[in-house]
Each structure stands twice: as structure tokens, then as C-alpha cells.
Amino acid sequence: MNIEPVDIAKVEKYTDNVYESVIVAARKARLINAENKLQFNALLSTIIPAVEDEFDERENPDQTRISLEFENKPKPHLLALKELMEGKLEFRFKEDSVEEQ
């Protein structure tokens, strides 16, 4: 597992402060993770399970291949930070629904 340091000054350049950057990247990472999970489950559901036997502990090679494929994908938080630093990630703040009179 490689460690990739991130320059905080570059991250902070796209938001008002570091904390906003972290929140924006974390929310995007959650979305990416949810998409990956749906895709993974969809691929696993296409695999026909072998007849389960109490004494048979063989692994399904297709399931192993798919699992390794997803493990080797870039991590969601790295993808989110990359999008943020490339300026591809758009975000906005919630507006107050009650206007002051």
C-alpha cells in the first residue's frame, strides 16, 4: 500500500478553509464508495453460487477475481481529493429557508 501525501495548501485553494475541503471530499468519497458497492454487489449477483456443502471449502474463482479487482481500484477518498484539487468537484452551501424580515 503506497502512501500519497497531499499538499494542504493545494487542497485549501479550492475552498475557504481546510475543514470545508475535508467535508466536501468526505461527502464525495461516500458517494464514490456507495457507487462502488452497488457495482460490486451487481457483479457478485451474476455469479451462480456453487452447491454449498458443509465439508467443501473451495472458493469461487470468479468471486475471488471480482474481489481482487475492486481491492485494486483507487480508494474513494483519494479519488475525491483528486477531483477537488483538479477543480472538477462542485459544491454549494445550503441556503437558509427562512428569510430575515
Domain assignment present for 39: yes
Tell me what the pLDDT averaged over the chain comes to: 83
Q: Which domain does 13 fall in, by range? A: 8-48+58-85
pLDDT at position 52 is: 63
Asked if residue 31 is part of any domain, the answer here is yes
Residue 101 pLDDT more than 50? Answer: no
What pLDDT was estimated at residue 36? Answer: 95
Number of domains making up the chain: 1
Q: For residue 99, is pLDDT > 60?
A: no
Q: Is 72 contained in some domain?
A: yes
Tell me, yes or no, whether 92 lies in a domain: no
Q: Is residue 63 part of a domain?
A: yes
Please, which residues have CB within 8 angstroms of residue 28's CB and are 6 or more apart in sequence? 76, 79, 80, 83, 84, 89
Is the confidence at residue 27, as pLDDT, over 90? yes
pLDDT digits (tens, 9 = 90+) for 39-80: 999 988 888 766 666 666 677 788 888 889 988 999 999 999
